[in-house]
Amino acid sequence: MTDRPTSLHLDVEGCFNVRDAGGWATAEGRWMRTGGLYRADDPIRITKAGRRAIEALHLEAVVDLRQTAQVDRSPGFADPAITYRVPIVDYIIDTDNPPRLEEPEDIEVLYQDMVQRGRPQLVRAVKAVASHIEDGPVLVHCAAGKDRTGILVAVIQAAIGVPLESIVAEYALSDKPTRARRQELVTNPWADDPPVARSPEFLWTAPAETMALFAGRAVETYGSLEAWPLGLGVPEDAVARLKAGLVTAVPEPDQP
């Protein structure tokens, strides 16, 4: 079950990194079900066809991790009535004097800073997912769908027992879509786009090694992956709801 099918990427016109985050075996021999937790980049360039694809998911809730300036650029994925705005602190890159971003550990350093400064928001985001996941699908997203969203999905997967190698593999699925998103923003920029072409190109990658370092450090700090969310401050009842909504029996081989 660690060989998750790449077909769980969704065709949402105008977006680059929309996929089902499920389809992974858990450490207890069960399964993170599909059709429960979706993840995405933002809908800045989403088309009408793309919105129809999102509507077909029949989302129960959307957790939007973007900063206010990013939200102001475009509507969200769903009705504001079912959208939770939880702006996780992003690391703002000074494009005139950027930090070193050449190796996987350089991105991991950014993630540690984001969690240190944004722990309360990260916990709020996990709780928002937990409060709806038993009732229907939940979509989480930020701008590129790989940094803030990647951290949130990793914490949720850790909470429900997905092993380290699968958390790493899930994160790395954002690499190709993120590179494609950067290429689009560089090739066909909009007037209010961020200065993507001036930002370090390596920032627009999702190396497996980055998540291996990030989640591995959490194991060192808290003792285990399962202890990671609790150590951050996620309540036990939220973890229980995540497991109830996302963990199921392993499917038969002919099931997706």
> What digits encode the pLDDT tens for the residues 154-200?
999 999 999 999 999 999 999 999 999 999 999 999 998 988 888 89
Q: What is the CATH number of the domain that holds 136?
A: 3.90.190.10
In the block, tokens 């709801």 appear at 241
Looking at the chain, the whole-number percentage of residues with pLDDT higher than 90 is: 82
> Is residue 22, in this structure, part of any structural domain at all?
yes
Beta bridge partners of 39: 19, 140
> Is residue 255, in this structure, part of any structural domain at all?
no
> Is residue 57, in this structure, part of any structural domain at all?
yes
> Is residue 256, in this structure, part of any structural domain at all?
no
> What is residue 1's predicted lDDT score, i.e. its pLDDT?
44
Question: Which range marks the domain in which residue 213 is found?
Answer: 6-247
> Is residue 252, in this structure, part of any structural domain at all?
no
Q: In 3D, which of 172, 165, 128 has the Cα closest to residue 37?
A: 128
> What is residue 73's predicted lDDT score, i.e. its pLDDT?
84
> What digits encode the pLDDT tens for the residues 194-220?
888 888 999 999 999 999 999 999 999
> Is residue 223, in this structure, part of any structural domain at all?
yes
Burial of 83-105, coded b for 16+ CB within 10 Å and e otherwise, reads: bbbbbbbbbebeeeeeeebeebe
> What is residue 210's predicted lDDT score, i.e. its pLDDT?
98
> What is residue 89's predicted lDDT score, i.e. its pLDDT?
79
Alpha helices in 101-249 (DSSP H): 104-132, 148-160, 164-172, 175-187, 208-222, 227-232, 236-246
Domain count, the chain: 1
